[in-house]
Chains A and B, each alone.
Chain A
């Protein structure tokens, strides 16, 4: 019974904490400002997207996706641009993800703690903040002038991969650091090697975080214009890197300027990534460059095209992010600590 009588006694001695009113007021003030900040951000985004949709009205037709650019705004499309963007982003991902993740794992799990590692760490963090145009200069000097690779999909992929490498490294390191130390110790204690510990335990748990870094990096690469302009990527490209089955038998001029009949061998070669005729070594353009060109044109119809291209770019980014978020969700579900 004494236990039942105790609470009233406690209530009697209860005194309101000092400044309760003021602290509660501060609390609700913060909620108000936080809500306002969120609303401003969302409202700007909503008006931007609405504006794009209003200006693009009637332009998002199948023809827009299946036509090449043209000086005639009504018939101009984004075929070469969206194909180019996707090829470049795939190349960028294939180069940047393995390099970035491997570098991050080395730095986090294997590298000895010494001044050299510290310098590398600081440098990588700084590189994440270097303006993209600087990477364009690097790509121009290294891949175009030094290795004479031309303004190809591969050159752009390598340049953009360098651009997003620091972002992926930093994100991966954060994710790897977040894996509890106990997991490593448990694996090592039953005789796993460091690589087994890393590949079987640390990396799978870190993957959701890695994926977040990859999303941020690739989204950035997808929207980049400046480094590609510096490399010398053309804006007007009215062809695809691929030779279609319908083109076999078509007479063309080859590189040397001689007449040549396209063969099925040429077609196959153009669908392979490597080799002279492979798509990695072809000229291309990308969505943001096409958009940038259209926004600067005098004819108002081109502004409509630019808005429509903006929406498509937005959708590509959302699809990319959506896939990554879905992957992350699936991976998180599988994790059993």
Chain B
């Protein structure tokens, strides 16, 4: 026997005792503690790039005095943590829901609601498809559950449409984009035909539409902007004439109902700490830069100023009353009264 296991035994003994030690040490502390102040944000992966830009920009401007982390556990998953008071900033691709408001109220978490940008959903087809525009009514005909297995060729929609087999691509059912699109187009959130190719990764949807002549898909505008050579966006006609998904149309409030605001929610208790307040101020001051750089559409400048005031005054509550509110204009939202509890 040439190997002794003495070293192994020692290592095992050390590891076992180490386990006991950090078992105790971690139980002794209520929260994992960090030497340097760390702002924790989590939530929607749609909003992630904007907050990532703000976090990086703020950290750099502070020369490392403060740390910011950004997670992407989804709007719903993020709100669960936010309403337990575990995160300082929540990224959300939709307004807070009634049940999330209740959860926050139960644990005493108050929040300032800040729409940070617009995300426009682009409806795209293959470049080989001659179609230029589509009406909201026809989009509904295509995506409603009753169309399942029946509406399978574009020409079934009318003589203006090409004779191509219709194949559909869209986000998976867990996505906030799916919720918004179904509510805006079909009329009921999560109500959609299911015979389409779903993917949580918008890049996959781009590839799908790019490789399929009769394809129709929808996803965030940032993905369309980056893939204009592979897919073509349709102008959507909601009764006010056809509108293409452009930054200008979204800013002017013309790309309804497929443009939606995306949000950050800031914990009021966290806002009382200087680094968090500084971070949110930095975020709002440079919002249009960060938003434009990441492919989203900024709010009008005056809106950011109003929200900055709300952050400074720590005005808590939501302007949406727990509802999704399709196609609301930011000016109108700005004028609304904030509510903290669910209106029954």
Binding site for B on A (CB under 8 A): 68-71, 94-95, 97-99, 101-102, 147-152, 154-155, 199-201, 203-204, 207, 229-230, 232-239, 243, 247, 250-257, 262, 266, 269-270, 273-277, 280-283, 285, 293, 295-300, 303, 331, 334-336
Contacts and interface: CB of A to CB of B under 8 A. Distances in A.
Contacts of B73: 229-230, 232
A298 B202 contact: yes
Contacts of B3: 204, 207, 331, 334-335
Contact of B32 (A97, A149, A250): A149
In which size bucket is the chain B interface?
35 or more
Contacts of A298: 202-203, 220, 222-223, 225-227, 295
Interface stretch (B44-52, B210-218, B236-244, B246-254): B44-52
B197 interface: no
A255 B39 CA distance: 10
B67 interface: yes
Contact of A252 (B9, B64, B200, B222): B64
Given A234-B42, A296-B202, A255 B37 contact: yes
A283 B38 contact: yes
A297 B72 CA distance: 13
A296 B69 contact: no
B63 A250 contact: yes
Contact of B72 (A98, A101, A235, A276): A235
Interface of B: 1-5, 8-9, 11-12, 15-16, 18-19, 21-22, 25-27, 29-38, 40, 42, 45, 48-49, 51-53, 55-56, 59, 63-73, 81, 86, 200-203, 220, 222-223, 225-227, 273-276, 290, 293-295
B104 to A, nearest CB: 17
Contact of B31 (A97, A148, A229): A148
A94 B15 contact: yes
Nearest to B63: A250
A232 B31 contact: no
Contacts of B36: 239, 252-255
A299 B40 CA distance: 25
Given A234-B70, A274-B25, A334-B3, A251 B223 contact: no
A141 B227 CA distance: 41
A282 B34 contact: yes
Contacts of B49: 71, 297
A178 to B, nearest CB: 16
A142 B14 CA distance: 24
21 contacts: A68-B56, A69-B56, A70-B52, A70-B56, A95-B19, A98-B16, A147-B26, A154-B22, A155-B32, A200-B1, A232-B42, A232-B71, A234-B71, A239-B67, A251-B65, A252-B66, A253-B36, A253-B66, A283-B38, A298-B227, A336-B2
